Each structure stands twice: as C-alpha cells, then as structure tokens.
Amino acid sequence: MASRLLLSFLLFLLLSLTAAHKHNLKQKYSHLHFYFHDSITGRNATAVPVTKLAAGAHPQSYFGIIAIMDDPLTEGPELNSTLLGRAQGLYAATGQEEVSLLMTMNLAFTAGKYNGSVLSVLGRNQPLHPVREMPIVGGTGLFRFARGYVLARTHCLDLDTLDATVEYDVHVIHYGKILDV
Ligand SMILES: *[C@@H]1O[C@H](CO)[C@@H](O)[C@H](O)[C@H]1NC(C)=O
Ligand SMILES: *[C@@H]1O[C@H](CO)[C@@H](O)[C@H](O)[C@H]1NC(C)=O
Ligand SMILES: *[C@@H]1O[C@H](CO)[C@@H](O)[C@H](O)[C@H]1NC(C)=O
C-alpha cells in the first residue's frame, strides 16, 4: 500500500516535471476567494438529501445522510452577487457523534479567468467548527495538475433551515496555462 502510494507520487512528480520541462513553465500559486451557498430546504433548495438518517446515531450528527448539491459560488456573501461558478457533488454525514461531512465536489467555474476550469475537492468538513481545511486533489483546464487546499469558514448558518453561506479561501498551485500533455 505504502509503496504503491510512493510509486503514484513519483509518477505524478515525473509527469509534472515532464510537463513543466516541455512547456518551460513555472508553477504558480493562486488565491481564490468566494462564497458558497448551500440551501437544503425551501423551494429554491440547491442540495437534496438522498438517504435517511441512520438509526441509533446521535440525531444531531445527521449520520447516514447524503446530499447531492449544485450550490452557487458567488463573489460576495449575498446570493445575488456575481456568480463565479457552482459546487457540484455530494456531502455525506460520516460522523456518528458530531456533524462531520465527507465532501466530494467539483468547483466548476463559469465566469472570469477560470471560466471552464474545475477544481476537485475531497475532504473532511465539520461545519460547526470555525475553520475547516479540505484538500484539492486535482483539476482541469487552467487547474491541470492542481494541488492545494481550501479553508472554509461559515459566514452565516440558519439553524432552523440549515441554509448556510460559507466563505471559501482556495490556495492552489498550478501552471496557470492549459498544458497539452
Ligand atoms: C426562490 O427564487 C425566486 C426566483 O429567484 C425568488 O423570487 C423567491 O423569492 C425565492 N424563494 C425563496 C423561498 O427564497
Ligand atoms: C441583493 O439583495 C440585497 C438584499 O438581500 C439588496 O439589498 C441588493 O440591492 C441586491 N443587489 C443586487 C445587485 O441586486
Ligand atoms: C464562460 O464560457 C462559456 C463557454 O466558453 C461562455 O459561453 C460564457 O459566456 C462564459 N461566461 C462568462 C461569464 O464569461
């Protein structure tokens, strides 16, 4: 297992180096900042639960719930501010004692210089904690070979409706050009 991981890592490194060499490119660091809006209730819900609560777990952990989302990402905290893209994927409540979500999502940008590019995020999100860190595991378009992390901070959360606005700070290393490799 460990040696397979090491092999994958070395292969990744080799591919990255080859791509960089071929295009004489340097990696760059980018910081993206936007707001994520998750609404799981009401007429305009952008996330839909597709499973039921598991019996026996702490009800406030929501253990067993999986929701599919297509959540807007906006420039400012207001839902009506400029739309930058959408977070499409799912989150699964995987903690039995407290809310602890497995996030599997694509941040698909639809405006600005990253229009058409995607960042893939796979991580752990404990929404009641002040800051959550999630890894960026890859990307497409301008984000090919991307790696980095997301810091998510709740901007507002309605405990009745569970609607949330979350501030996202994305720190990503990528080439900033579409590599043809
Ligand atoms: C749903 O969206 C419509 C159209 O944007 C808006 O007029 C309405 O107020 C929204 N409803 C709720 C409950 O947010
Ligand atoms: C966005 O909505 C807020 C109220 O929530 C309103 O005050 C503001 O004018 C709206 N902005 C735009 C650009 O429509
Ligand atoms: C994003 O790219 C698509 C496809 O090229 C284009 O149709 C759309 O107008 C672009 N959106 C913005 C906001 O620039």
Mean pLDDT of 66-94: 97
3-class DSSP string for the chain? CHHHHHHHHHHHHHHHHHHHHHHCCCCEEEEEEEEEEECCCCCCCCEEECCCCCCCCCHHHCCCCEEEEEEEEECCCCCCCCEEEEEEEEEEECCCCCCCEEEEEEEEECCHHHCCCEEEEEEEECCCCCCEEEEEEEEEHHHCCCEEEEEEEEEEECCCCCCEEEEEEEEEEECCCCCCC
- Cα 74 to ligand 2 centre (Å): 13
Question: Which segment of 2-11, 89-98, 147-156, 166-175 scores lowest on mean pLDDT?
Answer: 2-11
The mean predicted confidence, pLDDT, of the chain is: 90
80 lines ligand 1 (CB under 6 A): no
Instruction: Indicate which residue's Cα is closest to atom 3 of ligand 1.
Output: 44
Query: Predicted confidence band at 57 (pLDDT cuts at 50, 70, 90)?
Result: confident
Per-residue model confidence (pLDDT) at position 25:
75
- Cα 73 to ligand 2 centre (Å): 16
Among 115, 117, 118, say which to mutate for ligand 3: greatest number of ligand atoms within 8 Å of CB.
115
Instruction: Indicate which residue's Cα is closest to atom 1 of ligand 2.
Output: 80
User: Which residues have a Cβ under 8 Å from the Cβ of 108 and sit 6 or more positions away?
Assistant: 85, 86, 87, 88, 118
Q: Which domains does the chain have, with CATH numbers?
A: 28-174 (2.40.480.10)
pLDDT per position as a tens digit, 102-156: 999 999 999 999 999 999 999 999 999 999 999 999 999 999 999 999 999 999 9
Mean pLDDT of 33-38: 98
Closest ligand 2 atom to Cα of 81? 13
43 lines ligand 1 (CB under 6 A): yes
**pLDDT of 30 over the 80 cut:** yes
Ligand nearest to the CA of residue 83, numbered in listed order: 3
